[in-house]
Amino acid sequence: MIEIKELRKSFGDKHILRGVNLNIKEGEVTTIIGGSGTGKSTLIKCIIRLLEPESGSIVVNGEDITHIKSEMALAKVRRNFGYLFQEGALFDSLTVGENVTFGLKYLTDTPKSEYAKIAKEKLALVGLKDIEHLKPSELSGGMKKRVSLARVLATEPKVILYDEPTSGLDPIMSEIISELILDLKKKLGVTSIVITHDMKSAFEISDTMAMLYEGHVELAAGVKEFKKTKNPYVKQFIEGSSKGPIQMQIRN
């Protein structure tokens, strides 16, 4: 349902994405792994068109969205997606409750009287309760992340892009979130793209895994095949070994 071909994106003279090819199938969980700063967030921001790629193409359900310019048309594209921001991006002038229900007004016809109920329900899904009246500044890092996830879930999107949903969470909470992602797939047929550094969770939830390395997709494959790969880059990365073809520049 999402086809990405030869996608390129730079910031100034930093060439981040240098020809990314990836297919995302409807109803599947696709995880994207890769080193810090390789452009994983950049890639999914291109998919939802928070960023405009330089070249290549992104086709969503048959529509080429790569270079759409009009605000109205972009808003329509973004309606297809839910997006969990890496740092949460909660509105700090609003309460937790208002944050969670923020999108309902713009994306759904839900009557205002339902908002409180929906906030409670979605917060419960991510293991939180009785915090609707707090401001984001009063929450811990992991709580912010989960409130942010609740905000995504509130509008019940058909495709969800998760930027590190389990980072900053304890192991048990991570497991709960992983199960939640699987649940959404099974019960509601939600398509998910998940960026993660958590290999355990990645193997648990993925149908397809893709590794981004040096601006391209090094390997994209079903999870079983991915685990057993001989590709030395991917192998080193999923084993988390400091020895191998990927050399981190630590000292100059």
CA–CA gap between residue 142 and residue 87 (Å, rounded): 10
CA distances (Å), 132 to each of 101, 181, 248, in order? 10, 23, 43
Binding of residue 41 to Mg ion (CB under 5 A): yes
Rounded to a whole number of angstroms, the minimum distance from the CB of residue 249 to ligand ATP is 13
Count of residues engaged in binding Mg ion, rule: CB under 5 A: 2
Q: Which is nearer to ligand ATP, 58 or 123 (CB)?
A: 58
C-alpha dihedral sign at 153, 157, 3, 70: negative
Residues in 103-132 that interact with another protein by CB under 8 A: 103, 105-107
Binding of residue 71 to another protein (CB under 8 A): yes
CA distances (Å), 148 to each of 95, 129, 163, 239, in order? 12, 14, 11, 30
Rounded to a whole number of angstroms, the minimum distance from the CB of residue 233 to another protein is 30
Q: Which is nearer to ligand ATP, 11 or 91 (CB)?
A: 11
Per-residue x/- mask for Mg ion, residues 60 to 99, rule CB under 5 A?
--------------------------x-------------
HSE toward the beta carbon, residue 97, CA cutoff 13 A: 13
Using CB under 6 A, list all residues that contact ligand ATP. Answer: 11, 14, 16, 34, 36-42, 86
Q: Which is nearer to another protein, 58 or 223 (CB)?
A: 58
Given candidates 16, 20, 48, 123, which one binds another protein under the rule CB under 8 A?
48
Torsion angle of C-alpha atoms 158, 90, 31, 246, degrees rounded to 10: 160
Binding of residue 9 to another protein (CB under 8 A): no
Q: Where are the beta strands (DSSP E) in the chain?
A: 2-11, 14-24, 29-34, 55-60, 63-64, 81-84, 159-163, 191-195, 208-213, 216-222
Residues 6+ apart with CB under 8 A from 178: 166, 201, 204, 205
Residue nearest Mg ion, CB atom distance: 41
Q: Which is nearer to another protein, 146 or 151 (CB)?
A: 151
Where along the sequence are the contacts to another protein (CB under 8 A)?
45, 48, 50, 71-72, 74-75, 78-79, 81-83, 85-87, 89-93, 102-103, 105-107, 151, 155
